Chains A and B, each alone.
Chain A
């Protein structure tokens, strides 16, 4: 079976740092993605981790621990435009590179 868990909602203040966690249980793990999705729009790619450790890209960083089935997305220097849903997705090994998405975390950034 497969299961991906994320908090449903989070709030944070403009300029602050927020960490969004994702835990997963899946057979055939082959990488983890984070996507940002604004309401009514398609997801946009943020990060990809396949090896343990931290990947940093500007204000966004993503961490993966394969042994713990755990990842987090770290957003620094929050801006109002960061208010969106953040989707954790696991890539299954095997053909077609299927992605299995978590339910998403709705982040609200307040002034």
Chain B
């Protein structure tokens, strides 16, 4: 149980285009989802927190107009990187929290999406 998927696993896009990454909780309802970014040999940096049906809360320094987050249902959140630039190339990881069972403090991580902007 507690499986989180991400799609796509890898994506290459051209500079100036937009890319959408999906995060799904497959067997539980995710009341809260988190989006992280990880550069090579660095740790995970929290970008934003999203709750179903409400606006995402962005961490300081993260541009909300560039990284659009939509948490449309209890099982799906999307991150859209708009007008991508090479410096946006990174490993994007989502996690989800199940507030209805077990250990609500625990976050379940998706497998990550490797974005390369050329």
Contact = CB atoms under 8 A, between A and B. Distances in A.
A44 B4 CA distance: 12
A98 B105 contact: no
Given A87-B44, A98-B46, A98-B49, A44 B109 contact: yes
Interface string B79-118: 0000000000001010001000001111111111010000
A11 B12 CA distance: 35
Secondary structure dominating the interface of B: strand
B18 interface: no
Contacts of B97: 96-97
B42 A97 contact: no
Interface stretch (A13-21, A62-70, A76-84, A99-107): A99-107
A16 to B, nearest CB: 24
B5 to A, nearest CB: 11
B28 to A, nearest CB: 15
Contacts of B17: none
Contact of B105 (A41, A43, A97, A100): A97
B14 to A, nearest CB: 23
B44 to A, nearest CB: 5
A106 B41 CA distance: 9
Interface in B9-36: 32, 34
Interface of B: 32, 34, 41-46, 49, 51, 57, 91, 93, 97, 103-112, 114
11 contacts: A40-B91, A42-B111, A42-B112, A43-B109, A87-B43, A96-B97, A97-B107, A99-B34, A99-B46, A101-B43, A104-B42
